[in-house]
Amino acid sequence: DQQVKQNSPSLSVQEGRISILNCDYTNSMFDYFLWYKKYPAEGPTFLISISSIKDKNEDGRFTVFLNKSAKHLSLHIVPSQPGDSAVYFCAAFLSGNTPLVFGKGTRLSVIA
Amino acid sequence: DVKVTQSSRYLVKRTGEKVFLECVQDMDHENMFWYRQDPGLGLRLIYFSYDVKMKEKGDIPEGYSVSREKKERFSLILESASTNQTSMYLCASSLTTGPTDTQYFGPGTRLTVL
């Protein structure tokens, strides 16, 4: 059973507009969430994270929002740039000696 | 800067061959992980290790084994490669198991089994 779900396999956005990538989770015990970005032929790289005690974390053009009651988080990219075109993975951390749980990813295409 | 290297970027093997994928990290990280990435399936954890000579099964360990004889090196072994093991294999490491200790990934090995 998938604990972290990214229901949109792909998203296309125009350059300069906002990109919103969504992630839902089922386990209310997750206490930390991360977003990774992956370009083709490269390994994923860490982008931004949020603790479950917060509802927002911002880093430059990237903001992650967490709605614990809805078990939902989203990554906002404003403004979107062609270089943001990549696959974005949502990941959740349970606590203790457990590895991250990853979603299936969303492919973002930013069109110039 | 953390560096995770994988022995090959591209590899082509035949069905039934024994395949070794090597991963080395240079930052004295405790934890190492092997994933495979397939279209529509995302990143799936094969095996991980929290210490030398220690290993734990991930979500899809069948058909794979691992070895961690030294802290910096984590090897993934396909005992008898099959065509359904054609995939992108990604190695990662992290300092500890804490949530703020992000995983650093290698560039990946694209394995094709014919």
Q: Which domains does chain B have, with CATH numbers?
A: 4-113 (2.60.40.10)
With contact defined as beta carbons under 8 Å apart, do A100 and A4 qualify? Answer: no
Which residues in B lie closer than 8 A to residue A32 (C-beta atoms)? 99-100
Strands A106-111 and A10-14: parallel
What's the pLDDT at A98?
79
CATH 2.60.40.10 fits A4-111, yes or no: yes
Bridge partners of B110, per DSSP, are B10, B88
With contact defined as beta carbons under 8 Å apart, do A11 and A108 qualify? Answer: yes
What's the pLDDT at A87?
96
Say how many C-beta atoms besides its own lie within 10 A of residue B23's C-beta. Answer: 26
**How deeply is A110 buried, as exposed, middle or buried, from its count of CB atoms within 10 A (0-12, 13-18, 19+)?**
buried
What's the pLDDT at B99?
67
Count how many pairs of residues, chain A against chain B, have C-beta atoms within 8 Å.
59
**How deeply is A43 buried, as exposed, middle or buried, from its count of CB atoms within 10 A (0-12, 13-18, 19+)?**
buried
Would you say residue B2 has pLDDT above 70?
no
Residue B96, C-beta contacts closer than 8 angstroms, at least 6 positions apart: B30, B31
Judged by a CB distance cut-off of 8 A, whether residue B11 touches chain A is no
Would you say residue A83 has pLDDT above 80?
yes
Which residues in B lie closer than 8 A to residue A98 (C-beta atoms)? 97
Categorize the per-residue pLDDT at A99 as very low, low, confident or very high, splitting at 50, 70 and 90. Answer: confident
- Distance between CA A99 and CA B53 in Å, rounded? 18
Dump pLDDT digits (tens) for B73-110: 999 999 999 999 999 999 999 987 776 678 899 999 99
Contact A104 B107 (CB under 8 A): no
With contact defined as beta carbons under 8 Å apart, do B24 and B34 qualify? Answer: no
- For chain B, give the percent of residues with pLDDT over 90: 80
- For chain A, give the percent of residues with pLDDT over 90: 88
